[in-house]
Structure 1
Amino acid sequence: MANLRTAMDSAFWDLNVSSPHTLEGSAKAIPGDPFPLDGARASRALRIQQLSLLGTGFPLGIIPSYSPASHKDSGSFSLQSLLLRPATSNWWLGVIGQIRPKKLISSIKAEFFTNDELEVPTFKDAARHFLDKSLYSVGLCTEFLLTPASSVKLSTERDGEKKGRRSKVMLSHELPYHDITLEAAWPELFIDHKGQYWDVPESISLDLSSLVSESGLRYRVGIHKNSGHPQAVNAVNDEAPTSLMPGLCAKAAFSYEKSRDLWRQKETQNDLMVKKDRGWFWRPSYDVRLKEPHAAVSGIFGGSFAAWFQDGHSPVAVELRGDGNTSSSTKKRSPVSADFFGSICYRFQHGKFRELYGDLTRIDAHLDIGSASALAKRVVNGFKSSSANSAIDPMSSPRINLIFQQQVVGPIVFRVDSRVSLASLPGKRGPHIEDFIYSLSYSLRLLQSGKVVAWYSPKRKEGMIELRVFEF
């Protein structure tokens, strides 16, 4: 099922979106933005845990990724590897290394072909290029259990091309029916719905979330604090989102979700056991979450309330990285706000995902309304004037998210996630595609519902390989 809870989680500051921009492999979605694509949601497994398992299936344990660098001469292609991972029963430590080979190869080629004296470069000359710190990024992450229900995770990373480093600490505690999370980062990386990145110098959040009850009710409360001016990482001539501006915010949200099958073909013993010449063999589905053909409808409805305890009406300087210039954002943030959101989903699956060919075709379509108040305001203002309003408030337009999955061969599945906005662009009427992601996944039967996913986002010009377990 498409992750309907994304609708609620995106209202807070802890929804992780997959991104090769950091060694951690994720960035935070910005509250108040349209819901991210389901295919963009980051894996629940830590990046170090992913590399530890993925490394066994790649040559020398090296995992490729693709992301534009700060400097064009470094290239977009990079290679990651897990360098170290000692562990005990209640503690582990991991070190990730990354290199961008384009700059290294270019500098070595220049050493050979631009030598005026026609002398062959020495080993020392070539080795000097390998010692260039700008080629490498290093990240360290450790986690240890305080109690069986409590854990602390610490991480830090440094990019050789940039000054400073990223550090993060997260304390989590599990209660019988709730989860408590305290998280702080210096700085925290956010990504908006346009694919642009923003750094907040300091981001601290405390969150209490309930587990989903049998009735479908779920609620969350939290406090979040931003300090320092948001810095644009790759945005040009754009204003910082208001939710990233300095201030202290208290937020509460609730949601109610329900799902009903229109029809479903239950798994039987004949599906699990197959008779061959040498006897009976056990043949489970490649993914237990895709084992039953069905058609179903589901939906989620919820509301959120936020209160800012610091004036957000004053202009906030936004630093555009690269040239050091600053600009002022004149956006205004309401000190108190309340809103409703909702999502309706229809899904259809053909096939049981057991055979070698043609045993899985699946379509998920859901209509998302991120802000009922913004939509109502747009309707009142009229569709003719909605274009200007939509440019100011991207939440004023409903969006349709479409997910198509098709088995290629065996456990390999091709998938396309797309988001269609029903608003009109300036000078162009009618719906338009806002974002889409291509991916290929290889399901791992031994993990029941685990898969290796290689995805690419044309909008962000980014791609990476991840391990996802028990995730849609």
Structure 2
Amino acid sequence: MEMKRLRWATDGGGGGGGWGNWELDASTPRTLEGEARAVPGDPIPLGVSRGTSLSRPKQLHFFHHFMNSPFLLSYSSSPGFSVQRLLSLPTFSPNWFAALLGQFNLQKFVSSLKEKTDDFQSSPLQTIGRHLRDKSLYALGLCSELLLTPDDVLLLSLDTCGYGKTSRKKAILHHKFPRHNLNLEAVWPGLFVDKFGNYWDVPLALAVDLASVGSESGASYHLCLHHNVGLPKPFDGDQSSLLPPVTLLPGTSVKSAFSLKKDIEIWRSKAQKLKMVQPFDVFLSNPHISASGIIGMMQLF
């Protein structure tokens, strides 16, 4: 597992390298954005990590337009069952994606209808209309992804939830160098999750991430600078008697990974391929035997 994590770290966290820390974001229904960052130095298992190449709005856009799903159902312990819908906004350039994400708290709405009231003069439609005017049932998110140049992508997002008092803002700039990938990120507040599933809000989280482009053989490295401002607290009023992780306290931390990788090809078939015959496994179309070795280290300061 450590070798898998080291390879993931030095290759830039997956998704082409450099678009996230090796402590990958985790998918979560607790927020409209649908993601939370792992606590530095306390990574979550890779099996529950979230990929970095497709954001939550892009996922909803795919379901709406390519799978004919007008609404998506989401569930979490708080706020419960919710219905989500994404509306694409018109833009002036094909390099700009903008969308409005809406969420309706279905479970809270149904529960409010079941509650007994002393208002016996209202009709059922008036009762439903009164409950629908409750702002705590709704959440809205605005996201924008702009391709500034072939090597620069700017991501902006704003989430407001009616059932919570916290508005979440995020700004990310991705830049591709010839042999490196740079990621600049600012989130306020930043949402983090530890390996025990506890969520923490940091008032302001800044990150600078530099990763060498992954290669088949040779040296690779990954550097990340974190800076937190303000004291962390349990997410959205969660009741927790635990102390916040040390790496989330105000201050600066640096994380690095370095590795040497070598691939050796032992044998490769020289048989000609049949043009009209495709094997069940694509790897069988080019049979070969190879060996790979990796050695390196990770460090958190």
Q: Same fold (TM over 0.5)?
A: yes
Query: Which residue is 2:89 aligned to?
Result: 85
Give the gaps of 5 or more residues in structure 1: 275-282, 308-472
Matched, 1:42 2:46: no
Which one-letter code corresponds to 1:53 in the other structure?
Answer: F
Select which of 288, 298, 301 maps to 1:304.
298
Matched, 1:51 2:60: yes
Query: Which residue is 1:241 aligned to?
Result: 245
After superposition, the Cα gap between the structure-2 partners of 1:268 and 1:120, relative to the gap in structure 1 and judged at 3 Å, is farther
Structure 1 residues 105-158: Cα deviation after superposition (integer angstroms, max 9, x where no partner): 122233xxx355755625333112112111121111112222221121111101
Structure 1 residues 140-195: Cα deviation after superposition (integer angstroms, max 9, x where no partner): 11122222211211111011111120000011111111011110000111111111
Matched, 1:66 2:75: yes
Matched, 1:17 2:26: yes
Query: Which residue is 1:220 aligned to?
Result: 222
The number of residues matched between the two structures is: 288
Select which of 207, 210, 226 maps to 1:208.
210
Which one-letter code corresponds to 1:105 in the other structure?
Answer: V
Query: Which residue is 1:256 aligned to?
Result: 260
Superposition deviation, residue 35 in structure 1: 4.8
Structure 1 residues 340-370: Cα deviation after superposition (integer angstroms, max 9, x where no partner): xxxxxxxxxxxxxxxxxxxxxxxxxxxxxxx
Select which of 132, 143, 150 maps to 1:141.
143
2: CA distance between counterparts of 1:196 and 1:290?
Answer: 44
After superposition, the Cα gap between the structure-2 partners of 1:132 and 1:179, relative to the gap in structure 1 and judged at 3 Å, is same
Which one-letter code corresponds to 1:213 in the other structure?
Answer: S
After superposition, the Cα gap between the structure-2 partners of 1:103 and 1:306, relative to the gap in structure 1 and judged at 3 Å, is closer
Give the gaps of 5 or more residues in structure 2: 14-19
Q: How does 1:433-448 map to 2 (within 5 A)?
A: none
Query: Which residue is 1:98 aligned to?
Result: 103
Contact 1:196/1:235, CA 8 A, preserved across alignment: no
What secondary structure is seen at the aligned counterpart in 1 of 2:61?
helix
2: CA distance between counterparts of 1:235 and 1:298?
Answer: 47
2: CA distance between counterparts of 1:188 and 1:267?
Answer: 55
Query: Which residue is 2:16 aligned to?
Result: none
2: CA distance between counterparts of 1:155 and 1:170?
Answer: 9
Contact 2:254/2:300, CA 8 A, preserved across alignment: yes
1: CA distance between counterparts of 2:199 and 2:124?
Answer: 42
Structure 1 residues 176-224: Cα deviation after superposition (integer angstroms, max 9, x where no partner): 1101111000011111111111111100111211001231531122322
What secondary structure is seen at the aligned counterpart in 1 of 2:171?
strand
Contact 1:13/1:29, CA 8 A, preserved across alignment: no
Contact 1:262/1:296, CA 8 A, preserved across alignment: yes
For the aligned residues, what is the CA RMSD? Answer: 3.6
Which one-letter code corresponds to 1:41 in the other structure?
Answer: R
Which one-letter code corresponds to 1:97 in the other structure?
Answer: G
What secondary structure is seen at the aligned counterpart in 1 of 2:29?
coil
Query: Which residue is 1:412 aligned to?
Result: none
Query: Which residue is 1:130 aligned to?
Result: 132
* Higher RCO (CA < 8 A, seq sep 6+): 2
Contact 2:9/2:21, CA 8 A, preserved across alignment: no
Q: How does 1:69-468 map to 2 (within 5 A)?
A: 69=78, 74=79, 76-87=80-91, 88-110=93-115, 114=116, 119=121, 121-233=123-235, 234=238, 236-257=240-261, 273=276, 300-307=294-301
After superposition, the Cα gap between the structure-2 partners of 1:161 and 1:179, relative to the gap in structure 1 and judged at 3 Å, is same
Structure 1 residues 306-353: Cα deviation after superposition (integer angstroms, max 9, x where no partner): 44xxxxxxxxxxxxxxxxxxxxxxxxxxxxxxxxxxxxxxxxxxxxxx
What secondary structure is seen at the aligned counterpart in 2 of 1:51?
helix
Contact 2:183/2:210, CA 8 A, preserved across alignment: yes
Superposition deviation, residue 226 in structure 1: 0.4
Percent identity of equivalent pairs: 40
What secondary structure is seen at the aligned counterpart in 1 of 2:143?
strand
